[in-house]
Structure 1
């Protein structure tokens, strides 16, 4: 699975939210003002389709697109790449970084401890 550019990931986030959409629907979801041109978004959508992230149903000359790759599958690939590229394949290093750099609250730290405790019970 190919990693997405920032623009592609932004569009995929919309498809994961909507489940299926026409290009005009994607444009409506974008917070930008003014909205990007239709052709720009259409080009990104076609790239995502060629990369295998989106499938489509044709209705005459128009296409309704839908995600082929789930958000969970992409997240898993992205985190694995993050772990290997920046944390020497060590989840502990990633967690240590998060705890040090993100100024986690006591509540968030407790949630992490609970997750670790539950996973060690399995």
Structure 2
């Protein structure tokens, strides 16, 4: 099956992807049990959603005995990048500055986070001089 990298995951699909990114390849049972610690979710709902995600190219699966082991078809960073690009273009008119200003203005950042942001900007600026 060809992976369609233009498919953007829904909120529920992102929850499943988060579990897989944090825990590695997993069964539907494991995913469902993990999600159930946060909210009430039925096994058949999780199964159906993961089958849809497989059809959309968001997950791959391998049969092991009577069970399927699922894993993300796309790395976490790539998915995050796609989501940021969509948000940037639709909500912030393509302006990274507007996105960052809104993000930093919406919540209090720690001194450590702000230092990492400064370091990141310094590295970006250093790379432009070459």
TM-score normalised to the size of structure 1? Answer: 0.88
- How far off is 1:25 after superposition? 1.0
Question: CA distance change for structure 1 residues 108 and 62 in 2, over 3 Å: closer, same or farther?
Answer: closer
Aligned alpha-carbon RMSD (Å): 1.7
Match of 1:87 in 2: 92
Which runs of 5 or more structure 1 residues have no equivalent in the other structure? none
Match of 1:41 in 2: 46
- How far off is 1:114 after superposition? 1.9
Matched length: 121
Distance 2:63 2:113 in 1: 46
Match of 1:15 in 2: 20
- SS of the residue aligned with 1:3? coil
Question: CA distance change for structure 1 residues 4 and 117 in 2, over 3 Å: closer, same or farther?
Answer: same
- SS of the residue aligned with 1:56? strand
Distance 2:38 2:117 in 1: 35
**1:56 is aligned to 2:61:** yes
Match of 1:112 in 2: 117
Question: CA distance change for structure 1 residues 60 and 106 in 2, over 3 Å: closer, same or farther?
Answer: closer
Question: CA distance change for structure 1 residues 57 and 98 in 2, over 3 Å: closer, same or farther?
Answer: same
